[in-house]
């Protein structure tokens, strides 16, 4: 489905991003992935082989997405799609319930999840317009932005940042549709990634998650559960889809 597509993945050296990078390469794409950690970047390069190129930098820094896209153009001779996966919890910086939320926690969480995404999306749109051929953007949301779980997942800055991603993505999808630039959001439920260790290692939380995500016997999502939809939305098969928020959550948002 992705034959000859050139794709940049921001946050592509672990978890959901790395799984997607592997899936995209299997589907015929050539990818550039940006990761923050040197060790995971080295492992990602080994896994991806000749279909991948790995950069190590901080996605929250201005100019990093431009560098990744420039490398995609230089290495693979084109740029067709952006998948922004990078983000995470601000819990250890002070995110939490509003009455406990610190200013540092708020600002760090928004920078991590929302500012980094704005920077990558801006770089992608500018490049698509320069190339004059359109392109696809796929952003990472969360079911917590529209289906809260207050007992176990009460990080209010995180929920706000993910809700903002939906509004931001719909807005740019509407604005750039006449230029064939598409933008969509995947909203996963609890997915087993490094960020989710607190939850997946807590049996009480996992008992709750199994009731919220009852598909397949009730379980946490796996990174590869998102790969099929991501492939579709970045491929020509998804060329008439834009401005959508699609949950991949095992049934979380139906309850």
149 phi and psi angles, rounded to 5 deg: -135, 80
Instruction: Tell me what the mean pLDDT of segment 205-220 comes to.
Output: 97
Q: How far is CA 28 from CA 2, 41, 51, 83, in A?
A: 5, 21, 8, 16
Q: How far apart are CA 3 and CA 253, in angstroms?
A: 33
For the domain bounded by 6-249, which CATH number is listed? 3.40.50.720
Tell me what pLDDT residue 164 has.
98
Q: Among 83, 158, 176, 208, which one carries the catalytic annotation?
A: 158
Is 158 an annotated catalytic residue? yes
Given a cut of 90, whether residue 129 has pLDDT beyond it is: yes
Q: How far apart are CA 225 and CA 229, in angstroms?
A: 8
8-state DSSP, 236: G
Given a cut of 90, whether residue 247 has pLDDT beyond it is: yes
Average per-residue pLDDT for the chain: 97
Domain spans, the chain: 6-249
| Other beta carbons less than 10 A from residue 48's beta carbon | 22
The order of strands in the sheet holding 181-188 is: 52-56, 30-35, 6-10, 81-84, 135-140, 181-188, 245-248
State the helix-helix crossing angle for 38-48 and 15-26, rounded to 10 degrees: 20
Instruction: Tell me what the mean pLDDT of segment 82-95 comes to.
Output: 97
* Residue 186 pLDDT class (50, 70, 90 cuts): very high
Tell me what pLDDT residue 195 has.
86
Given a cut of 90, whether residue 18 has pLDDT beyond it is: yes
**Entry pTM:** 0.97
Given a cut of 90, whether residue 255 has pLDDT beyond it is: no
Answer left, alpha or beta for residue 142, where phi above 0 means left and psi between -120 and 50 means alpha. Answer: beta
């Amino acid at each position: 489905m992705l034959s000859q597509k050139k794709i940049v993945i921001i946050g592509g050296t672990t978890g959901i991003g790395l799984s997607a990078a592997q899936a995209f390469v299997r589907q015929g794409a050539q990818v550039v992935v940006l990761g923050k950690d040197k060790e995971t970047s080295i492992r990602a390069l080994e896994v991806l082989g000749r279909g991948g190129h790995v950069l190590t930098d901080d996605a929250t820094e201005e100019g990093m997405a431009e560098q990744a896209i420039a490398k995609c153009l230089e290495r693979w001779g084109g740029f067709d799609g952006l998948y922004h996966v990078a983000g995470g919890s601000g819990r250890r910086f002070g995110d939490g319930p509003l009455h406990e939320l610190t200013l540092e926690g708020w600002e760090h969480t928004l920078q991590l999840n929302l500012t980094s995404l704005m920077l990558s999306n801006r770089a992608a749109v500018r490049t698509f317009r320069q190339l004059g051929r359109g392109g696809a953007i796929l952003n990472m949301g969360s079911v917590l932005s529209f289906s809260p779980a207050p007992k176990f997942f009460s990080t209010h800055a995180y929920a706000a940042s993910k809700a903002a991603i939906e509004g931001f993505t719909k807005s740019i999808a509407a604005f750039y549709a006449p230029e064939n630039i598409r933008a969509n959001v995947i909203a996963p439920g609890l997915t087993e990634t490094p960020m989710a260790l607190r939850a997946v290692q807590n049996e009480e939380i996992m008992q709750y998650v199994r009731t919220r995500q009852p598909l397949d016997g009730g379980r946490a999502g796996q990174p590869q559960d998102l790969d099929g939809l991501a492939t579709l939305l970045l491929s020509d098969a998804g060329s008439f889809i834009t401005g959508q928020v699609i949950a991949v959550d095992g049934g979380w948002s139906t309850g």
